[in-house]
Amino acid sequence: MKAFRTGDASDIASAEPVLAKIDAQIAEDRFQHKEIINRLFQLNDDGTANNNSLTSITWDVTWDAPIMAPTFGKNRTFLHANGSNKESFDPSTSGTLGIVGEDGDSRYIALSSSPMRIWKRYPDAINDQTHSLTINSINWLAGPADQADEPRKIVIANLPESYYFPDQSSTREWLDEYMPGKFTYNDATVCDNEALYSCLDGASLLIHSSVGEISDDWKNAIARAQSEDIGILYIHTDGGQTTVGQHMFEELDLSYVGDNYWQQLVLKEFDITNLGYQLPDNLQKIVALLDTARTPGSIDFSRCDGSDCSPIADINAKFFDGLSALQGELRRLDREAGSLFTSANDDYAVWRWLILLADYYRGQTSYPLDKVKDSEAFIKAAFSDAGVYQSRSTNTVPADLGNFSRTDFSHITPVTKTINLISKSNFRSTGVYVLPGQEVTIRRTDNSDVVVSAFVNSVRDGATHWLDVDGYKRPRYLWGQSFPLVTGESVSFTSPYGGPLQLSFDRNHEPVTIEVRNVGEHPYWNGPEDDDAFAAALEAGHYDWAELATDGFEVHSKLDKMQASMSNWNNSASDLAAATELYMSNLPHALAGFRGERIEVFDEVHDFAGDKDLTIDLIDMVKHMNADQATCGYGCSGNPYDAYWDFDPLGHGDIHELGHGLEKGRFRFTGWEGHSTTNFYSYFSKYNSWKREQRNPSCQALPFRTLFDWLQTAQDADDPVATMADNDDGGWSYGTAIYIQMMMAAQDQAGLQDGWMLLPRLHILEREFYRATRSDEAWAEMKDRLGFGSYTREQANALPQNDWPTIALSVVTGRDMTNYLETWGLVSSVKAKEQVTALSLPAMSPIFYTADGSDFCYGLDKPGVEIKKGMEWPETPAE
């Protein structure tokens, strides 16, 4: 079938022949490496055991190890955990600890841990059969000897040597103990890193770990070992992934699953004959998914409770697990293996057929779909969504892309464009559009020291509510695979869905230049010079997406929503952008106690930090909004946050979602709802819009009158504090209103010119407090400056909920807040009160400031009423 070579599924007439190819390939590949397994475990030719077979492998790899996964058709598991050091062990969640593979002249074994290290540190944690298996592995890896009596050369490179990982010494000691005279080896460290290449002269085997330094010379050495019949024994160090480990995993076609720290998997009398030739875990799940796709009615989606399908007991095994496994493996291959379809042989055959099956299903998919009414098409669409593979010159576009975009771009003439950007985390837009199904080529031409990757779309997966009634309105996985861009090299790929191209960066302020071929130019604004072209492009409507990019905030919007956003700002992109910079980037982050190039400096904040020798953290990143569909609710926080509404830099919803990324839980008192500390950033921007531009701030009304009534009633009670505490129902607006009252008190009584500046001071103190509690040394240095001098670090990390804000508010206002807060029913511990007393601050008087509804957004200077028995709301003067 031509499609197998080209990746072009356009000539595939039905799914059946592709399914047959998948079945046949799985049946063939599952017995791959059978002869090697028989040799390593000393089995009979038919795979059965004899008296000399190694059928009781015991090895505790320890928790300092990763769990791995093989790539079906390239290598296979030969050590699969069958136990755990934890009390409970679930075989269904077990994992691979050893993988063996052979690719042409390249032989390799990857181990999650070092049997030599374990032998040295924990001799009872590894048995004789495991040592025999290791001997067999080394002999197989080294290949046949040219002369039987001559010792062969092993190169030992980049092994750690420490108390926990004595791999350099233990490897050499183990070779001397178990294989004396069989091999020679180099001295410690002499073949590490760039020295490795020359060390490989005449070598039969390379033993390498996951530590070391990445360089071109080192990469060439690994490639040389693979091409020159030098076996590779790869031993991973510790449970996390490293840059060296990542490169080795890519070269050996392995997948990193996770850290064994959590499961503590081990081998307990492991018998390979019990494992047999079962498929890898991920492929077992995909096979179950295939059975579901070709068996109409196998899942009764009518049993779901709305979008919750947990009432269907086997839906994970039949459906969800397979989708995750398919997407996970194809994204890894997309990222690591290059273009599968350029191979002239049968490399990755089963994965190529699975990609083509997904292509066929995708070509038949037309959105929207409903899981109950369209269950067969729904399952196949989900398969096609998970089965996206981009590293090829063609890609199958859905018959219809639903509410994401049109599919027909025949009216667009693709262009080549050079793009210059200054890097800033986490990502930035480029102003070009990848057309669905059409190959795009990106060449990076700068020499900056920054890791750059390209991807299509910024739409979060959860924004497609595919399990809702009629909710599968478009593809689910619109945020595409990320492709690293290396200076001087080109990357080509396709997207079946298309969308705006984005670049991600690992550091800031580096110039980046790329040349992009065969792309469109959608409505995009990046400066006042774009005003006219942007307006014209919005009017023309040749695309369904538009983007507006400022230095610190970018809007990725459906076309109609961007048109609506513009209409609120004089149909001027420059006006919209200026408001975005001021009200979405500058002021909210200033209120959160940050500094930055475009963040306003408020003296009452910076002077406070300087006086107390506290750090004002730099924020230097781009934040994003998707005006499209919300991942949760009607708007959903994150970066990007997303919403169903049109973007507005003074819209409460927009700054509210931004506020979720700024608020701090430590600011809340016991029982307060999460949103009680979310909305200050919105109110501050709106207040400033009134102060600076006389715009109606349109803030939310807060329950000041209700709070006044509570306070008034409480003063007549035997215990006013307890009465107030009982009144607080935990609704978010009550806590918010109390904080606004504190800001008014700080402005009236504590010398602040602007009571809003209480909040950035509090943020600065909170960040320094967090850092100080990370170590005893930091705490000893910082605790007095923070106002927590009487606390040990352990006590600071275990503060009752009300104690931190009581002390912190006293510090940032310069007033003893204990009595004031108790007036509101907010009581702290005796120790917190003693700490505040030790600060020797004048007391904040319990005064209620007669704000009403939303008028606090016109200013915090409101008349005060002393909180006492007989308090009355002041009468409004007669006009």
Q: What is the residue-wise DSSP string for 844-858?
A: PP-EEE---BTGGGG
- Work out the average pLDDT over 427-456: 98
Q: Are strands 106-111 and 635-636 parallel, antiparallel or unpaired?
A: unpaired
Domain count, the chain: 4
Q: Are residues 62 and 116 in the same domain?
A: yes
pLDDT score at 728: 64
Sequence-separated contacts (24+) of 688-693 with Cβ below 8 Å: 688/582, 688/583, 688/587, 689/583, 689/650, 690/857, 690/858, 691/859
Q: Please tell me whether residues 789 and 862 are part of one structural domain.
A: yes
CB-neighbour burial class of residue 87 (10 A; exposed 0-12, middle 13-18, buried 19+): exposed
pLDDT of residue 682: 98
Residue 813 pLDDT greater than 80, yes or no: yes
On whether both 20 and 105 belong to a single domain, the answer is no
Can you give the residue range of the structural domain that contains 44? Answer: 34-275
The vertex-84 CA angle with 83 and 86, nearest 5°, equals 145
Q: How far apart are CA 119 and CA 727, in angstroms?
A: 65
Residues 739, 770, single domain; the answer is yes
Over residues 493-542, the pLDDT tens digits come to 999 999 999 999 999 999 999 999 999 999 999 999 999 999 999 999 99
Distance separating alpha carbons of residues 782 and 765, to the nearest angstrom: 11
Q: For residues 312 and 304, give the distance between their C-alpha atoms in angstroms, rounded to a whole number.
A: 7
Domain closes at, from 662, 679, 703: 662
Is 292 found in the same domain as 254? no
Which pLDDT score is estimated for 730? 66
Average pLDDT over residues 599-607: 98
Checking if the pLDDT of 337 tops 80, the result is no
Structure tokens at 749: 């009584």
User: In whole angstroms, what is the distance from residue 165 CA to residue 157 CA?
Assistant: 14
- What is the distance in angstroms between the CA of the first residue and the CA of the last residue of the chain? 89
What's the pLDDT at 144?
A: 84
Residue 92 vs residue 11, higher pLDDT: 11
Local structure of 125: helix, strand or coil: helix
> Three-class SS of residue 392?
coil
Domain assignment present for 394: no
Please check whether residue 689 lies inside any domain of the structure: no
What percentage of the chain exceeds 90 in pLDDT?
93
Q: How, if at all, do strands 440-444 and 511-519 pair?
A: antiparallel
pLDDT for res 547: 99
Is 520 inside any structural domain?
A: no
Taking each helix axis as running N to C, give the angle between helix 167-178 and helix 128-142, from 0 to 180 degrees, rounded to the nearest 10: 90
747/781 same-domain check? yes
CA proximity to 701, closest of 740, 747, 749, 646 = 740
Same structural domain, 203 and 292: no
Backbone φ and ψ for 876, nearest 5 degrees, come out as: -75, 130
Render pLDDT for 372-402 as a digit per residue (tens, 0 to 9).
Answer: 999 999 999 999 999 999 999 999 999 999 9
Domain membership of residue 858 (yes or no) is yes
Structure confidence by residue, pLDDT tens digits, 843-863: 999 999 999 999 999 999 999
CB-based contacts of 542: which residues, under 8 Å, 6+ apart? 411, 412, 522
Residue 878 predicted with pLDDT over 60: no
Domain end, chosen from 353, 386, 419, is at: 386
| 420: nearest Cα among 356, 338, 514 | 514
**Residue 433 φ then ψ, to 5°:** -120, 125
Q: Is residue 690 included in any domain, yes or no?
A: no
Residues 244 and 157 placed together within one structural domain of the fold: yes
Whether residue 602 is predicted with pLDDT greater than 90 in this model: the reply is yes
**Residues 127 and 229 grouped into a single domain:** yes
Residues 534 and 645 in one domain: yes
Domain endpoint, select from 337, 353, 386: 386
879 pLDDT band (50/70/90 cuts)?
Answer: very low
Instruction: Please give the backbone phi and psi of residue 462, each rounded to the nearest 5 degrees, phi first.
Output: -70, -10
User: pTM of the predicted model, to two decimals?
Assistant: 0.91
Query: Could you tell me the maximum CA-CA distance found in the chain, to the nearest angstrom?
Result: 113
In terms of DSSP bridges, do strands 490-493 and 499-505 run parallel, antiparallel, or are they unpaired? unpaired
CB 244 within 8 A of CB 214: yes
Res 620: pLDDT: 96
Calculate the alpha carbon distances from 362 to 7, 305, 383, 398 in Å. 14, 27, 8, 5
Q: How far is CA 314 from the centre of its chain?
A: 28
Residue 670 is which amino acid? T
Mean pLDDT value across the chain: 96
Residue 147 — pLDDT band, cuts 50, 70, 90? low
Q: Are 630 and 644 in contact (CB under 8 A)?
A: yes
Banded model confidence at residue 93, pLDDT cuts 50, 70, 90: confident
Q: Please check whether residue 566 lies inside any domain of the structure.
A: yes
What are phi and psi for residue 795, nearest 5 degrees? -65, -40
Domain presence at residue 202 = yes
Alpha-carbon distance of 839 to 852, in angstroms, equals: 34
Are 166 and 255 part of one and the same domain?
Answer: yes
Helices (H) and strands (E) in the chain, counts: 31, 28
Residue 734 within any structural domain of the chain: yes
* pLDDT mean over 773-799: 98
User: Are both 107 and 243 inside the same structural domain?
Assistant: yes
Could you identify the residue written with the tokens 């920054």?
450
Contact 389, 355 (CB under 8 A): yes
